[in-house]
Amino acid sequence: MEPTIFYTDGSKSDDSIATSAGVVLEGSTTAYSISLPRECFSFTAEAFAIKAVLDIIYNEFVSVKKDVIIFSDCQAVIKAINNNEINVYKNMYIVESRKRLFEINNKMDKNIIIVWTPAHIGVVGNEVADRMAKEGSKEEILQGDIVVPLLDVRSLFRQNMWNNTQSTIVQNSRAVGTSYFKNFYNPAMNKPWFAEFDEERAFVTFVNRLRSNHYNLNESLARKGYVDSARCDCGYEIEDVDHVIWRCSKYDETRIRLDLEFRSRGIFDENSIFTWIKRGRWTAVRIVYNFFRSINRVI
């Protein structure tokens, strides 16, 4: 007997007003698009979509066949659903999905498997689910309709920890975190990156600010509306971290020492500080940190 096939997808983009989930049932003309609060990670949307399918199977679809395949393009969510470890920070939709799966396995005569399918390789159902998810992300939803999982909220706060007030966080929420999610967000990581890191607080703060792309240079400040222009005092259009490190003419003299320091440590690739942080090249990052101290810039 042919299995019943569902495709799920989650969507979150920089310019959308909501995070959203899409669900498609193969062979059906109906597809679902659900909008979630924009604070939700795409991981949450992916988990929500799978949970929605399990709810459909459990509550509505008597016609669902014995064998059910649910396709998702999010390996992290599939892993989380299959992981037995109990963790208070486990995403609530993962927890609910596991509960639903358990109920279905116990009460209903069905075999459900959740299978990973790579995104955007032209699997039709997956493409439709993706389109449905994108549709959902254009719709504004009423806050409070769908609960934002604890971990999403916690991370939102952590990356803004130097913005002391919640109102700042809310104001900035449109621009917040996009770079962080793109470069560093790892749903499988449940400890902060510096957990096993014996470094002084100021260094950790320095790296945290760069990781979240919020720092005290004109490029970042202009992005948040604190200063009018991203321009550097030296005349260059954008004062960002890499400009200050590699090119700003104001620091040419200090840069000679920086260069010597890199060479003495065998570091020859002139790379973006963000790449070094991402790759955990702490010796190089530490040299850059010392460079900022020596030019008296606290960023």
Question: C-beta of 165: minimal distance to Zn ion in Å?
Answer: 31
Distance CA 297, CA 284 (A): 18
Which lies closer to Zn ion via its Cβ, residue 250 or residue 286? 250
Which lies closer to Zn ion via its Cβ, residue 139 or residue 270? 270
Question: C-beta of 268: minimal distance to Zn ion in Å?
Answer: 24
3-class DSSP string for 32-87 = EEEEECCCCCHHHHHHHHHHHHHHHHHHCCCCCCCEEEEEECCHHHHHHHHCCCCC
Using the contact rule CB under 5 A, the part of the chain among 49-57, 122-130, 209-217, 224-232 near Zn ion is: 224-232
- The DSSP call for residue 243 is I
Given a contact cutoff of 8 angstroms between Cβ atoms, the answer to whether 102 and 56 are in contact is no
Question: C-beta of 34: minimal distance to Zn ion in Å?
Answer: 46
Distance CA 1, CA 65 (A): 8
Alpha carbon distances (Å) from 262 to 75, 148, 177, 257: 38, 44, 30, 9
Token pair belonging to 250: 């104001």
Question: C-beta of 233: minimal distance to Zn ion in Å?
Answer: 6
User: Which of these, 294, 224, 223, lies nearest to 258 by C-alpha position?
Assistant: 294
Distance CA 71, CA 74 (A): 9
Which lies closer to Zn ion via its Cβ, residue 92 or residue 234? 234
Which lies closer to Zn ion via its Cβ, residue 193 or residue 236? 236
Distance CA 273, CA 179 (A): 14
Distance CA 181, CA 19 (A): 13
Which of 236, 246, 274, 282 is in the footprint of Zn ion by CB under 5 A? Answer: 236
Which of 248, 258, 285, 288 is in the footprint of Zn ion by CB under 5 A? Answer: 248
Token pair belonging to 171: 């104001």
Question: C-beta of 229: minimal distance to Zn ion in Å?
Answer: 13
50 binds Zn ion (CB under 5 A): no
Size of the site for Zn ion (CB under 5 A): 4
246 binds Zn ion (CB under 5 A): no
Q: Contact letters (x/-) for Zn ion, 183-222, by CB under 5 A?
A: ----------------------------------------
Using the contact rule CB under 5 A, the part of the chain among 95-103, 247-255, 261-269, 279-287 near Zn ion is: 247-255
Question: C-beta of 248: minimal distance to Zn ion in Å?
Answer: 3
232 binds Zn ion (CB under 5 A): yes
Which lies closer to Zn ion via its Cβ, residue 77 or residue 248? 248
128 binds Zn ion (CB under 5 A): no
234 binds Zn ion (CB under 5 A): yes
CA 23 to mean position of chain CA atoms: 21
Positions in the binding site for Zn ion (CB under 5 A): 232, 234, 236, 248
